Amino acid sequence: MIYLVASLIMCVSILLLLYFRAKRKMNRHLQYMTEKLNAITAEDSTERLLLVTDDQQLRDLLNEINSLLDYHQESMADLARLRISTNRMLSNVSHDLKTPLTVISGYIETIQHDKQFSDEEKELLLKKVQVKVMDVAGLINTFFDLAKLEAEDWQLEMERIQLNELCRKVILGYYDTLTTKGFAVHIDLPEVSLHMDADAAALTRILENLLSNAIRYGKDGKTVGMTLWQDEENVYIEVWDKGKGIQETDNDRIFERLYTAEDSRTSSLQGSGLGLMIAKRLTEQMQGQIHFTSIPYTKTTFTLTFPKPKIDNYAKLKKVVRIP
């Protein structure tokens, strides 16, 4: 009996010893994790928790903590990029609004104070003021469109549209501008009619933005083109030019909000930087994709890819679709 009690006491003692050793080990691990986390967050470090342990639950906890640290690091990087983008946006907005407003103010001041101008000369200046006012109004409308896209409040009226005619109308709308600027225009539309399910106004806006971009940055090549084609699954619209192209360093940024090429802010190439971003967002809202390839001074091509329409869905298209 005495031996049994002694054995029980010894077993309990061993269990207590193992328990306290495990507890001390766990406390050391938890202390390390706490101190390491405090150091990582305080220094905004990219380090992660590294701990050798046989405890599966502790290993799972470490994995989850490291995943949270990865997410935190990515969020901080996104926040930094957003801050840079916002600062650039404010700078560009200020520049784009200030320039025409300064010109408008100068014209009005000239009309008011210079008595030597004839009525015809004043009329000419007023026409120039009107052009600049329209530029400012167009820019403000573009910012308004961006705000609607960001708020996911742009409504699309989807319907079956004939692409050949829409593309022809868009390019003809720019024909006078292109010929005045000395551009050669190449239009490649198939004889067979191609269709897709889309919002006609949104698709027109996309193509106009791409053409404006081609005219602005393709002036050195003096060539602009539009190509429409299809395969078994998709329809494709290409807008291309032979101008200065897009440098490799800009490839990942051209669809950013208010991004413009570095030399565009100080030259006749100036633009708001919103056109490509809006084109991309609208394309994606219509289940399409936009890609580009660029060989400077050889050919820069923006390609829109949309799924071919399904016949049995036609009856469902005559309705207003709200962007989710």
What is the per-residue pLDDT for 315? Answer: 43
pLDDT along the chain (324 residues), means of 10: 68 67 72 78 78 77 83 82 72 73 83 79 84 80 76 83 95 89 93 94 93 88 94 95 79 60 39 76 93 90 93 47 40
Written as six digits, the tokens of 242 are 């032979």
Q: Dihedral angle at the C-alpha atoms of 145, 150, 151, 156, nearest 10 degrees?
A: 60
What is the per-residue pLDDT for 182? Answer: 92
For residue 285, how many C-alpha atoms fall within 13 Å in the half-sphere facing its CB?
26
Tell which residue, 254, 274, 282, has the closest CA to residue 149: 282
What is the per-residue pLDDT for 316? Answer: 45
Q: Which residues of 211-239 are buried (b: 16+ CB within 10 A; e: fewer)?
A: bbbbbbbbbebebbbbbbebeeeebbbbb
Domains and CATH numbers, the chain: 2-76 (no CATH), 77-150 (1.10.287.130), 157-322 (3.30.565.10)
At 251-272, the pLDDT tens digits run 666 776 545 544 443 333 344 5
What is the per-residue pLDDT for 252? Answer: 60
At 29-82, the pLDDT tens digits run 777 778 777 887 777 777 887 777 777 877 788 888 888 888 888 888 888 877
SS3 for the chain is CHHHHHHHHHHHHHHHHHHHHHHHHHHHHHHHHHHHHHHHHHHCCCCCCCCCCCCHHHHHHHHHHHHHHHHHHHHHHHHHHHHHHHHHHHHHHHHHHHHHHHHHHHHHHHHHHCCCCCHHHHHHHHHHHHHHHHHHHHHHHHHHHHHHHHCCCCEEEEEEEEHHHHHHHHHHHCHHHHHHCCCEEEEECCCCCCEEEECHHHHHHHHHHHHHHHHHHCCCCCEEEEEEEECCCEEEEEEEECCCCCCHHHCCCCCCCCCCCHHHHHCCCCCCCCHHHHHHHHHHHCCCEEEEEEECCCEEEEEEEEECCCHHHHHHCCEEEECC
